[in-house]
Each structure stands twice: as C-alpha cells, then as structure tokens.
A and B are shown apart, each in its own frame.
Chain A
C-alpha cells in the first residue's frame, strides 16, 4: 500500500519524503489544480527541484491537473500535461475529459489517475475512463461506504486510491457547486472552494462572525474555537412544517476531519493500492506529523497484521491537526450517513 502525501510547497514536499511518504502529489501555480491558493504550489523552477528530490529518494511524484478546462483556454491544461511528462512525473491526476483525451493520445506511456473531482463512484463510470483513456487508477470520492469500496475492489480491475485523512468533503467531489453559488468561483472552474478572498471575520456584539461573500457562515462565542468558513460547515436553521422552534445546527456537516486509521486493515484487505492524505494547503509541520503517523501505522500493520491496533498517541497527533479537533470515519461508516 502506497502512502501518498500532499505537498503545496517545496519544504512540504521534502518533509513528506523525509518522513516516509511513498509518493507525493503537487499542483502547478495556476488554475489547473483544485488547490489554486495564493502562495501555494510550484512554479517551474521549484517543480524541477521537487521532482529531482523525489527521484533522488526513489519515491514517486504525482501531478494534479484536476480542474476543468475552460473553453478556448484548453492549452493551459494541455501544457500542464506536457510539463508533467517533461518532469518525468510518475503519474498525472486528471479530472477533465478533454485533458484526459489529450494525455492519453499524446502520451500513451504516461500513467493516468482519475482525479476524485471526476466523481467516479461505480463500475460503469470506471469502465468509461478505463476504456476511453486507459486510466490506471481511480481516486474514489468520499461518499462511498467501506462496503461499497470493497464491492468496487471486487468488481473492477483498476487500482483504487482512497482518502485516508484530512478535511472532509461531504459532497461527491467535482459535483458540488455550492461555492460558486455563494461566490461565483468553484473547485471545478477556478480550483478553490470557499476562496479566501471572499472570507471576512468580524467581531460583533453577538460574537465573532465568519462570512463568505458577505453571507453569514458561523458565529462564535468567546469559548468556541473558530474555523475556516467552508460554506458547507456553517451553522444554519431549517424551516419546520409544524411551527416547531427552529434549531440552529450544522445542517450539512460539522467542522471535522476524516480519519481512517481504525479501518486500515480493511483497506489493506480490500486491496486498496494507495491511501491519500488531504492537505496541499497545509503547512510542512502538518505534513510532517501526518506522514509520520501514517508511516508508523502502515508499517505496524505490515509487520504483524493480526496485532494491528490504533495507538492513542497517533490519534492524539491527528486530532491536534484536525478541523474542530475532531475526526470521523465519514461515509466509510454507514452511521455517519
């Protein structure tokens, strides 16, 4: 099983490799990837250095080209594929069909991974990408239960990559337009969800307010820990049909992170090829802590599968870097759904 770690910068990339990642994934400094944030990602020079570092350590480099090509501007996405090949990257992670088509035709030897943003959740969809573009691996959206992941593993020949840890996207990725509904910009079109430039914090009499494009996402009292206003993780009220008192709650999802340490043995048994850590936007310190814990967990399992147990100090480290300091198994566990 491959441990695949995020690298939003050269220091994060080196940290991931030094701490035991088998592979890292990166994005270019433009809107061809879904973490298109200011100050993040790789220009050509940094990318060359990063690729060299990965090669020197005999690890793998994946390049995420996982937004959708704008009409008339496809060249930018195709150039990203060219760059990926020039670098000698081991795989391109692609979502857009036009970009997949370009990559598959021009570079038949380039290993293609289907980005989670393509939202393939079933065998028929996987067949489509396998047959048309010879995709080798699919990154599964975080909407499937563990049972469904196992079912897919049994019924398809493609390699499966699953999210193991990080911020939890609760919608089928690539098919969520909530961000553009609020701000005009979405992961699919500009490579960012709830973009930072629309975020505003304001101290008021009612508490600390977080807003996205002026829309109130949450309000915190002095004793509450404030989180980034990702719009699906705000507090809202739902209209009632029988005039009951409206309750304020996280109508879609609490601020929480995905943590699959406890089902690692089952992921091994389902023959999952790679576990992915989310967080290209996070610091090298985050990458260091997460990578060390997951390296230890995977090695621990491999050494003696029957004795595998999640260690308390692993969870403590993970909780410390989680949204809202809490973690969940998310959709992998039916109860969450």
Chain B
C-alpha cells in the first residue's frame, strides 16, 4: 500500500505552504497532491504558482498530482481548471464532473477525487474509459461498499485499470456550500470576507450546546468535527486499497505519514485513539463513531 498526502484543504500563508511541501518531500508520502480545492478566492498561491511548485517537486522520487476545485460555479473557475489540465506534465485530480469532462477532452489521465459521486462499478467503467487511473472513494463509503464495487469491477474486467485510494486520516470534507461559514462566523459577508480563513490554519471547531465537537468550518467546506483515523484499520485495507490518504493539518501530518508507513510495514502496535477521533464510515456505521 502506498501513502499519499492529500491536497491542503486549509488556507495557509504562501511561505508556510511552501515550507510544508519542502518538508513533505522527505516524508513517507509516495504521492503528493497540490492545489486549491476549496475556494477560488484563496490566492496566496495562484494556479500558476501551484503548477510551478508541482513542476519543481516532480521527478524527485514522488508522484505529484495537481488537485482541482470541488465546487465550480464561475467561468473564471473553469478557466483555472483548464490551466491545470494543460500543465503538460502531471496528472490532475478532478473533484467535479466538469473536471472529468475537460480532462477527458484533452486526454489527460486523471484521478477521480473524493468529491465526485462515484458509487458503483458501472460509473467506474465509464470513468476508466475517459482516462481515470485512480479512484478516491467518496468519504462516506465503507469497506463493505468498496469490496462490492471492486468485485463488480473485477467481473466487468476493469479492476486492473485503476488504483483505489481511501481517505485515511484527517478531518473529512463532508459538504460544500455557496455560503462561506468562516466568514459567517466572523459576521462577514462572503463577498467581503477579507480571506479571514487564513487566521484558522486548521479551520474553526464547532460544537453542540453540550460541547460535542461536530464540525470544523473551513470556508465553504464543512468538515467532520472529529479527525478520521484508519491507522488501526490498515490490515482490513490491505488487498483492497492501493493508496491511503493523509490530509494535511500541520507539520504533524508528516509524523502521521510515518506512523502509517510503520503500520504498513508490519508494526503491530495498536494505537489508542482519543475521543476526538473516528473511523465509523469504514465500518459502515455513523461516520463520527469510533470502532475498535
């Protein structure tokens, strides 16, 4: 099983971002996803900067993939997407069907990202025919669901045509809205947000009236309140999953990658999770639950 570092979902200053990726180059990640997937107003690194960073890091022993936006509404956002598709060197992670359309038109191989509704082998087949070489399963799906989809994929003769990646660590991206919840939390209108999400490098934790942390607000994206963690589930992923994804939250994510690496290499150590972690989706129960 390979390890990937998913796209940075938060908004960090340019220097912090670049430092993070310099460090990430010596981490245990086999694949690194680069790019803005949440909000087109975040321009500490513009599309051109991400492409340049990707080119700089490419051919240094890691596979580099450019990630694209999940919610595409404006023609200007499609333009940026086209720019990524025309990078000429690297694969692109599509997070909207519009991305798959543009990438298949240009015959650029692509990763089907977790924000695309791909729930069965028939859909996978159609995407394979369009150029998909890796599928990141929607975060709400379970091991059982994955197994069934892959059994079907085997039957229709496409299992060998793509890799399977599973979101394995980090706050899960659960929803995308027209509304910016971070701006709203500061009583600002979205059009006048002053890019305030840069003040919250790990989003804003949101809790019930009983203090249970249920969401993390990250701009227009709503994340799980708990951190998803499949470290203790590596064994049940083996043979089904080709790539485990760690979603960046801070430099600590590089340590997390190392823990996953050790586990994949056979370290049998069970890690006790604290009560702000969960793995429910993988076990086909409420996402916020923790099993084992």
Taking beta carbons and an 8 Å cutoff, which residues of A are in contact with B?
Answer: 68-72, 74, 95-98, 101-102, 117-125, 127-129, 131-132, 142-145, 148, 151, 155, 170-172, 174-178, 180-184, 186, 188-189, 213, 215-217, 219, 232, 234-239, 241, 248, 251-253, 330-331, 334-337
Taking beta carbons and an 8 Å cutoff, which residues of B are in contact with A?
Answer: 70-75, 77-78, 81, 96-102, 115, 117-123, 126, 138-140, 145, 148-149, 151-152, 172, 174-181, 184-185, 189-191, 199-200, 204-210, 212, 214-215, 217, 222, 224, 280-281, 284-288
At the interface, is chain A mostly helix, strand, loop or mixed? mixed
B208 touches A170 (CB 8 A): no
- B155's nearest neighbour on chain A, judged by CB, is A72
B119 touches A188 (CB 8 A): yes
- A98's nearest neighbour on chain B, judged by CB, is B122
- A337's nearest neighbour on chain B, judged by CB, is B190
B224 touches A181 (CB 8 A): yes
List of B residues within 8 angstroms of A119 by Cβ: 96-97, 117
B207 touches A239 (CB 8 A): yes
A97 touches B118 (CB 8 A): yes
Compute how far the CA of A153 lies from the CA of B254 in the bound complex, rounded to whole angstroms: 46
User: Given A180-B287, A216-B212, is A123 in contact with B98 using a C-beta cutoff of 8 Å?
Assistant: yes
List of B residues within 8 angstroms of A143 by Cβ: 71, 73, 176-178
Compute how far the CA of A101 lies from the CA of B121 in the bound complex, rounded to whole angstroms: 12
List of B residues within 8 angstroms of A125 by Cβ: 72, 96-98, 101
User: Given A72-B148, A128-B100, is A235 in contact with B287 using a C-beta cutoff of 8 Å?
Assistant: no
B75 touches A68 (CB 8 A): no
A-B contact pairs, 19 of them (CB 8 A): A70-B119, A71-B145, A71-B149, A72-B148, A74-B122, A97-B117, A118-B117, A123-B78, A148-B74, A174-B117, A177-B175, A178-B175, A180-B286, A182-B288, A183-B286, A236-B215, A237-B207, A241-B199, A251-B215
- B127's nearest neighbour on chain A, judged by CB, is A97
List of A residues within 8 angstroms of B122 by Cβ: 69, 74, 97-98, 101-102
A189 to chain B, nearest CB (A): 7
List of B residues within 8 angstroms of A216 by Cβ: 208-210, 212
List of A residues within 8 angstroms of B149 by Cβ: 71
